[in-house]
Structure 1
Amino acid sequence: EKVVVLNRMQADLQAVSPGLADIVEYKDGVAFLNLLTCCSNLQDLSRLDKKELLSIGGIGEAFAGRVIKWQKKAYFSREVAYVGPMIIEDAKRIIEIKRSIDELEEKIEDILKSSKLAETIGSIPGFGAVCTAELVAEIGTMERFSSERSLALYLGMAPLDKSSGKCQGTRTPTQINKRGKAAMMTAVAHNIRKVEESKRYYQKKRDEGKSHNQAVRALGRHMIRVIWSMTKRNEIYEIREGENKTCSDETSAAIPA
C-alpha cells in the first residue's frame, strides 16, 4: 500500500507543482511528509516563513533553506485546487503506514530474539529484521535440507544449467520458494552496500557481463554457503576490527574470486 500511495502522490505532485516535488529525492522522508501535511491548502506552503518551517518536525536549517529557495519561484497548476487536498491526504496516509510498519518491525525484532536461526542470519550485514524474519519463516528448520545446495535451490540462488551445444547458459529453477527468494535478493542487495568485499565481488560479476540480478544471485549463492556453515557450527557473522569482511572461522573466508 505504501508504494501505491507514494507513487500516486509523487505523480500528482509532479503534475501540480514540479518544483515542490524536486525539493527532495525521496518523497517518503519525515521532513517532506510533515511539510506537505502542515497546511490544509498546498499553496500555503509557498508563504511559510523560516521560523514556521523550522517548527515543523524533522525540518532543519538545510531543508528549510531548500524550501525557501523553492518559494521564490513557486508554481502551482490550476489543478491544485482539487489535486492539492488529495496530495495532503496521501501524505498523511503514508505517515500512518510508516508508523504501522515501524510498530510491526519492533514486534518482529522481539519475536526474532527467540530464534537461533534468526540470530545467525540476522548477524549478516544487510540482513535486516524483515528479510531475516521472511527467510526464517520460509526456511523453517535447516533439518529440512540435505545440503547447502538444496537450500540454495529452495531460495532460488542456484541457477540450473541449460547449456546446449555451443550455447552456454543457465535457467532459474521453477520449484523455488518465491517469498524466500525475494527476501534473499533484497538482503543480499543491502549487503552489497554495507560490505566492501561484497561490493567488489558484485562488480566483478557485472564486469564479466552478468546482469544485476545474476550478480546478486551469485553473491547470494555464496551467502547460502556461509549461512549453512554458520548454522552447523553454531556461529554468527562478525566483522574484523579495521576490516570490512566476515570473521567466522572458515565461514568468514573472503568472497571467492
Structure 2
Amino acid sequence: MDVDDEALAELEVLVGFDDDLAGEATRIRGLLTGIHPALEHAIGPRISHPAVLEILSRCGGPAGITKAGRRKLTAIAKVHAPRMGERLVKAIMTALGEQTVTVPGTAAADTVLPRLADSLKTVLQQRKQVAEQVEGILDAHPLAGVLTSMPGIGIRTAARILLEVGDASHFASSGHLAAYAGIAPVTRSSGSSIKDEHPARTGNRQLKRAFFLAAFASLSHPASRTYYDRKRAEGKKHNAALICLARRRCDVLYAMLRNGTHYRHPEPAPTAA
C-alpha cells in the first residue's frame, strides 16, 4: 500500500465515523417532527446551533419551552446568539402558537430532549476533533488543494469527494460522474407536459449529499449565485435550481481532478463603453 492509499484508508475510517456522528442530530429532529412539526420546522435547520441546543437542554420539549416563556428563552438565546437570539425566540414562539393539539409523547419529550441535546453537544465536540484529524490527512494528499480551491468545498466535502471519486480517472466523462452521484437532473413529464426537474433517485447518496452541500455553500460566490438566480428566473424551484448548479459544478470539478488544476474564477464580463 503506497502513502496515498494508506492516507485514503485512514481518511475513510475518520469520515465514516464523522458521518455516524452527524446522524445524531436526526434523532432530535425526528422526535420533534413526531410531536410538534411546526417547532421542528423552526429550529430543525439550526439544530446544531449552541443557542438551540442550550434551549432544549435547559427547557426540554414544546411543553417546557412554552412554560419557560419568551423572556427566559431570549436570555438563554442571546448568550449563544447575540445577533439572532431575538429572531430565534420569535420563530419558536410563533411555531408553538401554530399547534393547539397536544400529541401523545409530548410530556416524555421534556425528559428526553435535554439528554439528546447534551449528547449532541458532546458529539459536535467529537466532530471538531475528527475534523482536525481529517484536515491533517487531507492536507497531505496532492488533490486536496485542487478540491478546496473550488468555492463551496470545505474539509468534509473534500474528504468525501476524494474518497468516492479520487482523481476521477474511473469516469469516462463528467456526465458519467454526475450519473454516479445521482445529480443528473431527471425531468418529470405527464403526457405532453413537462412538469419539473428533480434529482435522480439512484446514485451514490454520500457523494450526492457532498455535491449538494457544496453547491449550496457556493451560493455566496458570485458566479454560482448568478447561475442559480438565472435558473430561478426560468421558473425552477429552489431544489431544481440547485440540481442544475451542482451538475454544472460537476463539469468543472471533473476537469480540475483530471488535469490536477485549481479552480479558476471566471473573468468578469466586459462593460460596454
TM tier, shorter chain? 0.5 to 0.7
How far has the Cα of 1:190 moved from its partner? 1.6
Alignment-mate amino acid for residue 246 of structure 2: G
Task: Say if 1:86 and 1:158 are closer, same or farther in 2 by CA, change over 3 A.
Answer: closer
Alignment-mate amino acid for residue 112 of structure 2: M
1:37–1:88 Cα contact (<8 Å) kept: yes
In the other structure, the counterpart of 1:115 is 141
In the other structure, the counterpart of 1:131 is 157
Match of 1:142 among 168, 184, 188: 168
In the other structure, the counterpart of 1:26 is 46
Gaps (5+ residues) in structure 1?
71-76, 238-245
Match of 1:218 among 244, 258, 261: 244
Identity of aligned residues (%): 24
Aligned residues: 234
Answer 1 or 2: which has greater helix percent.
2
- Bigger radius of gyration: 1
In the other structure, the counterpart of 2:29 is 7
The 5-angstrom pairing of residues 1-257 of structure 1 reads 1-8=23-30, 10=32, 26-37=46-57, 46=68, 58=80, 63=85, 83-159=109-185, 176-191=203-218, 193-237=219-263, 246-247=264-265, 252=266
In the other structure, the counterpart of 1:243 is none
How far has the Cα of 1:184 moved from its partner? 1.0
What secondary structure, in the 3-state scheme, does the structure 1 residue paired with 2:140 have? coil
2:59–2:68 Cα contact (<8 Å) kept: no
- Distance between the aligned counterparts of 1:82 and 1:173, measured in 2? 39
TM-score by length of 2: 0.61
Alignment-mate amino acid for residue 197 of structure 1: A
What secondary structure, in the 3-state scheme, does the structure 2 residue paired with 1:121 have? helix
Alignment-mate amino acid for residue 87 of structure 1: L
1:117–1:231 Cα contact (<8 Å) kept: yes
- Distance between the aligned counterparts of 1:116 and 1:23, measured in 2? 39
Q: How large is the RMSD of aligned CA atoms in angstroms?
A: 5.0
Gaps (5+ residues) in structure 2?
1-22, 94-101
Alignment-mate amino acid for residue 26 of structure 1: R
How far has the Cα of 1:204 moved from its partner? 1.4
- Distance between the aligned counterparts of 1:220 and 1:161, measured in 2? 16
- Distance between the aligned counterparts of 1:65 and 1:149, measured in 2? 43
Alignment-mate amino acid for residue 190 of structure 1: A
1:6–1:28 Cα contact (<8 Å) kept: no
